Structure 1
Amino acid sequence: MSTTVPQTPQAPGLQALEERLQDDFITLGWPAKAWIPATSHQGQTVHDVLIIGAGQAGLALHVALGQVGIRPVLLDRAPQDFEGPWATTARMETLRSPKELTGPAMGIPSLSFRAWFIAQFGNAAWAELDKIPRLQWMDYLRWYRRVTGADVRNNHAVLAVRPQASGIVEVDVQAHGSTTTWYTRRLVVATGRDGLGGAQLPAFLHGVPPQFWAHSSDAMDYAQLAGQHVGVVGAGASAMDSAATALENGAASVDLLVRRTDLPRINKSKGSGIPGLTHGQYLLPDEWKWRIRHYINAQQVPPPQGSTLRVSRHANAHFNLGCAVQRVEPVQDKLHVHTTQGVFVLDFLIVSTGFAIDWRLRPEFADIAPHVRLWGQRFTPEAGQEDAELSASPDLGPLFEFQGDLPGLQHIHCFCYPAALSHGTVSGDIPAISDGARKLAQGLAALFYQADIAQHFAQLQRYAEPELEGHEWQPADSSARIRQLQS
């Protein structure tokens, strides 16, 4: 498997690609002409669209909005070039998505990862490439941001969100040591996998001092695990990546503690990736929406083969199956991890237990959290189909908007993973991110036109650019012409 490639002299280079891309933008008329009337509130600009998050979802939506003449501003708490998890907390060597997927390219070939890669390394290197290296994907997104001119405000942390009955959303933003209130007509939450919560922590960690454990999504220096006996709870992709990273940093041993008696083999989520579901999830009856998502959750997604081999090639890696963790207790400078197979004496424990939709972990949404309608309020599954993640998912409207009893709530749109039950995986994962971004952008354009219909009609009435100037023809003498034809 090839994950890195040298530059080759046959590669045309990024400059040539960027010239081609700019020509494509001109051909497509991107960005489209702005058309939404400017608005203000209390003397301040009211943005048309603010996007929280400048990762791949936010960037894709920026391009999609540009296609319909809307220029958003993206707010991201991370420093420039470190948006999203790719260069911070992600630890996989490569993406699991096939390299051929177009991701956020928005139907523009020269904006695709493939075009970016070949421009630098050539066609032969592309043919050799198996999966996309994680950090190379981050480099691509950095390039994507630059060439599309996204208006990203880094080091801007959203502290509070308050929708108003007037249709304006107030957003408190901390940046440069001070907090200011921004105003927007539409707010999009594009905050990724843990967009409405955070790390899911098992009950057995309650009371365990934090120096003994970490969640796989935590930022930490794995070099500190050198010489230590490490346990990893779970067997998903992040568990394998955490285990491998610990081993590569010199851990004395890594024990994977896996509740299941066998690892899942089939990625059912991949099997669901067909256009009919991509475009049709929202239109399905509730029973089918729930049945599909619950089935994928219950089957569980297996770890990638490459990630698993990355662990198993180490002789000091141990796959303990049927080994559910029951409780964990610190004993002096060690952890005693009690499992269904016995007690493991370890130095450090990494829990790879996924993410939870938990509004308590997102204080910036405290003003809206009690009012958002959830799927648990909308739908009661059959016995045996219960699913905590699905019940906690927001019940979204046709344009990803939150629904509930708070005036103005529908002006906030959930374009991150928790939208999956309502809309499918079109708001975060690479395969269908362009489809989701285009759907939301076109819908927002329609909403803006509807809201401003009187102004647009007045503008239509004022429109006076002539197609004809009056000199293009001469009026005929109809009477003379009739006599001529009768003679």
Structure 2
Amino acid sequence: MTNESLSPSSSAELPAVPLQTLSSPRNQPALEALAAEARRDLERLNYPAPNWVQGTAAADDPTLDVLVVGAGMCGQTAGFALLREGVRKIRVIDAAARGDEGPWATYARMLTLRSPKQLIGPDLGVPSLTFRAWYEAQHGTGDISPFDAATPGWAGLHKIGRVDWRDYLLWVRDTAGVQVENGVRLLEVGDADGVLTARLQGPQGVETVRTRKIILALGRDGSGAPRWPDFPSLSMQDPLAAGRVFHTMDAIDFDALRGRHIAVLGAGASAFDNAACALEAGAAVSQFARRAVLPQINKSKAASFPGFLRGYSALDDARKWRFYTYIFDEQVPPPWETVRRCDAHDSFTLRLGCGWKDVQPLADGVAVTLADGSVQRFDAVILGTGFDVDLLDRPELARYTPHIDTWGRHVSPAMAAAQPEPARFPYLAANFALQSADGDKAEALSRLHLFNWGATMSHAALGSDIPGLGIGATRLAQALVSDLFVQDADLHWQKLLEHDEPELIATRWYQPAPGASTDSPT
């Protein structure tokens, strides 16, 4: 490994990297026993709660109360939270196959999660549904698993394996009975007669469903699209770019890169993860970043305690803008374990303070023009440039995007110009709903609730990161419960008037209601 911007401290002896593994061995009998325990706990919590919603209670009314689009970590937890609140007429869909929801088995390429292992979220406060319970059931509580000498127990686990997390999420979903329809994609959202319409493409073809609410839990890119740098000579429609120019979100055959020289652009976690995968496949990697020094401090760690996650949405706009533009500007350093994963290879070069001016696909590789004007040739390039937030990139919402309110309208023009990406974040209501900037489509937008990275400026990272997941899903479900009740208030009034369940029928003090039968109760 060579690095043209090593700091003086790099010569000091570095600590050993703890054991990191993608996944641990499965103990199915242990998981089945834990699932039975968790279901008993849920039953004690009266889960799933009886349906109380009146608007679509009729069996012959096909209108849903809530359609959850996306069944990754956030979507499945939102579905779980709705069932806990007695909202039963829901569908949870995902375009991906089972196990491929979210990034964990697709474009995420880290060995372990960044988050500390003790964080909770998908469990919604049920101890037997926590990751710790899931892991300990299989591998014990001590430093070494009593079932597998090569696997650490909970005390010896450094961080959660990426595939372990995926498998844990699936186990929670199955145990809690959150039904997910895989292979079903949202094509278009519309509205008619006071409800939303959703055109879906699934295994049985295209269908249009009516729903009172839609939760958009479409993941990190669900509020925009992968960010492609605007290089003069690069067009992704260029056939020469296919197989040579990748985004970190793309499916990449790393084995095909063996023996090749690969360039990676970016200094974030995904850039390093992809560099590591290429190195481990036998490629040489040159990684480039504009920054002269890698980000050193993860400021978002200081914004993940309960007070911040619960209280941020109550702040005024000026404070919200100050908090998150600062966090975004500081950027998040790559995990130190991931940097060391790359540094372990002699074929790894990190060039800091060296951005790119152009990328030109060629018949036999890619020409990269560096900031100093020099040109280097590579066999392929991987762009670790993240995801943009711009709802104009979401075709499902095309008829609404011109009307969606954004943060740029709630700060000064100078502030919006200085921070264009935060300015593009949608300006959400307290219930995570999109809002209208011009008054048009306001009713329909109020039924569309964003539960992904796009909610961050308005609500903090409640719809994207593990620390805020349980708080966010609970807040979202309770907000939708409130909305549905208010919409049905007159129906609930009528149900209250019609309620006739005598409490004293088993006593001698029972008195039939006027007009009721006087026959003695049996």
Please state which band the TM-score falls in when normalised by the shorter chain: over 0.9
Give yes or no for the alignment of 1:55 onto 2:72: yes
CA contact (8 A) 2:55 2:488 kept: no
Give yes or no for the alignment of 1:82 onto 2:85: no
Alignment of 1:209-224 (within 5 A): 209-211=240-242, 212-224=244-256
Kindly provide the amino acid, as one letter, of the partner of residue 164 in structure 2. Answer: Q
CA deviation string 1:12-67 (max 9, x = no partner): 811221121111111111111111125399x7600010000000101111111112
CA contact (8 A) 2:67 2:92 kept: yes
Q: Which moved more, 1:331-340 or 1:68-77?
A: 331-340
Kindly provide the amino acid, as one letter, of the partner of residue 246 in structure 2. Answer: A
Specify the alignment match of 1:303 in structure 2. Answer: 334
Give yes or no for the alignment of 1:64 onto 2:100: no
Q: Distance in 2 between matches of 1:137 and 1:408?
A: 35
Q: Which moved more, 1:331-340 or 1:120-129?
A: 331-340
SS, match of residue 113 in structure 2: strand
CA deviation string 1:111-165 (max 9, x = no partner): 111111111111121111101010111111111111111121111011100134x
CA deviation string 1:190-246 (max 9, x = no partner): 011111211100011633632321001111211111111100000100000000000
Kindly provide the amino acid, as one letter, of the partner of residue 306 in structure 1. Answer: E
CA distance 1:14–1:40, change in 2 (3 Å): closer
Specify the alignment match of 1:274 in structure 2. Answer: 305
Q: Distance in 1 between matches of 2:348 and 2:174?
A: 42
- 1:177 Cα deviation (Å)? 5.2
Specify the alignment match of 1:32 in structure 2. Answer: 49
CA distance 1:296–1:461, change in 2 (3 Å): same
SS, match of residue 250 in structure 2: coil
CA contact (8 A) 2:234 2:360 kept: no
CA deviation string 1:63-110 (max 9, x = no partner): 111121012211110112211111011111100000000121101111
Identity value in percent? 39
Kindly provide the amino acid, as one letter, of the partner of residue 332 in structure 2. Answer: V
Q: Distance in 2 between matches of 1:223 and 1:306?
A: 23
Give yes or no for the alignment of 1:449 onto 2:481: no
Q: Give the CA RMSD over aligned residues.
A: 2.2
Specify the alignment match of 2:427 in structure 1. Answer: 395
Q: Distance in 1 between matches of 2:389 and 2:379?
A: 30
Calculate the TM-score normalised by the size of structure 2: 0.86
Kindly provide the amino acid, as one letter, of the partner of residue 257 in structure 1. Answer: F
Correspondent of 1:175 among 197, 202, 224: 202
User: Which ranges of structure 1 fall in alignment gaps of 5 or more residues?
Assistant: 476-487
CA contact (8 A) 2:188 2:397 kept: yes
- 1:335 Cα deviation (Å)? 2.0
SS, match of residue 505 in structure 2: coil
Alignment of 1:144-159 (within 5 A): 144-159=172-187
CA contact (8 A) 2:122 2:172 kept: no
Alignment of 1:124-273 (within 5 A): 124=142, 125-164=153-192, 166-176=193-203, 178-204=205-231, 206-207=234-235, 209-211=240-242, 212-251=244-283, 253-273=284-304
Q: Distance in 1 between matches of 2:25 and 2:264?
A: 37
Specify the alignment match of 1:485 in structure 2. Answer: none
Q: Distance in 2 between matches of 1:309 and 1:117?
A: 26
Q: Which moved more, 1:423-432 or 1:351-360?
A: 351-360
Specify the alignment match of 2:461 in structure 1. Answer: 425
SS, match of residue 198 in structure 1: strand
Q: Distance in 2 between matches of 1:470 and 1:181?
A: 50
Calculate the TM-score normalised by the size of structure 1: 0.92
Kindly provide the amino acid, as one letter, of the partner of residue 285 in structure 1. Answer: D
User: Which ranges of structure 2 fall in alignment gaps of 5 or more residues?
Assistant: 1-17, 143-152, 512-522
Q: Which moved more, 1:78-87 or 1:352-361?
A: 352-361
Q: Distance in 2 between matches of 1:105 and 1:148?
A: 9
Q: Which moved more, 1:169-178 or 1:352-361?
A: 352-361
Give yes or no for the alignment of 1:439 onto 2:475: yes
SS, match of residue 450 in structure 1: helix
Q: Distance in 2 between matches of 1:470 and 1:257?
A: 79
CA contact (8 A) 2:31 2:137 kept: yes
